[in-house]
Structure 1
Amino acid sequence: MSPYLFAIASIIAVLSIIITFKIHLDKLKMNPEKQAEIQTKFFIGVAICEVIPLILVVSGFATMQLVQELSELFVPFIIILFTILIGPSFILLQTKVDVTEDIKNLVMTFAMIGLSLAMSIPIVSLVGLFVQMPQ
């Protein structure tokens, strides 16, 4: 059961963060002079979004047991890899839409912040899966 807790945590974390990222990036594109205020609200939104995934990851580590066969980890592993591909793809594609040359650096900085926040839970989830591998 705990491999699927990691997969669910990754899905919830990545989806909620890319939605929060999209909302705040659109605001940043409209009002680049309010960068500090938008980033602050983005961090608050990410903190709220990360509550449930963090609870799932902690409970996944708490209930962790070695699996009998490696095949038990394939589906959660593929789900986590899918979230690792979708998150950065979406974030980097958003930096190409409606970005003028004068705010390009601002948008790329915001995207790198969002990228690192979106990838944190899936990376921890991968570590959780690797720890459960049979020896």
Structure 2
Amino acid sequence: MSPYLFTAAAIIAVIGILIVFKINLDKIKADPEQVAKAQTNFFIGAAISESVPLIMIIYAIIHAVPLSIEDLYVPAFIIIILMAFAMFFIFLQRKVDVEEDRRQAVNQFSIIAIALINAVPIIALVLMFINVA
């Protein structure tokens, strides 16, 4: 059960941060002068989106049992696919409807989002593999 709690935590975190990213990226695309406000809103939204997954990860650590590596194939594959999807989504949003004068702000915001969006899945993968007996 523990690896699937890690997987669920990663899914919830990534989906929440992607929603917050899309909302704030649209604000940056509309008005590049609002980059600082959009980044602030993004960080607040990302923190709120990661609160429940972090509680789930702590719960999974507390109730962890030793597992074999075969038990981690499916959850690890789901998390890796989720990370790839999130990066693909961010790179795709970075290219769509961006005027040349706004490209630098959008690229900077996208790089920050990639770092934040992969944090919980990486934590989940590492903690899943720590439980291997």
Match for residue 108 of structure 1? Answer: 107
Q: Measure the CA separation in 2 of the matches of 1:133 and 1:86.
A: 26
CA distance in 2, matches of 1:2, 1:124: 14
Aligned counterparts of 1:72 and 1:109: Cα–Cα separation in 2: 38
Alignment of 1:119-130 (within 5 A): 119-130=118-129
Residue aligning to 1:99: 98
Structure 1 unaligned spans of 5+: none
**Normalised TM-score (structure 2):** 0.96
CA distance in 2, matches of 1:57, 1:91: 25
Q: Counterparts in 2 of 1:1-135, with a 5 A limit? A: 1-67=1-67, 69-134=68-133
CA distance in 1, matches of 2:92, 2:2: 32
Stretches (4+) displaced over 6 A: none
Offset of residue 22 of structure 1: 0.5
State the identity %. Answer: 44
Deviates more, 1:74-83 or 1:8-17: 74-83
TM, length-normalised to structure 1: 0.94
AA paired with 2:101?
Answer: D
CA root-mean-square deviation: 0.9
Aligned positions, number: 133
Q: Distance in 1 between matches of 2:10 and 2:116?
A: 12
CA drift of 1:103 comes to 1.0
- TM superposition shift of 1:35: 1.1
Which letter maps to 1:91? I
List runs of 5+ in structure 2 lacking aligned partners: none
Most deviating of 69-78 and 16-25: 69-78
Alignment partner of 2:95: what SS? coil
For 1:94-117, what per-residue CA distance to the aligned partner results, in whole angstroms no more than 9, with x for missing partners? 000011111111100000111111
Give the match's secondary structure for 1:113: helix
Inter-partner Cα distance in structure 1 for 2:38 and 2:117:
17
Deviation by residue 1:56-96 (Cα, 9 ceiling, x = unmatched): 111111111211x3221111111111111111110111000
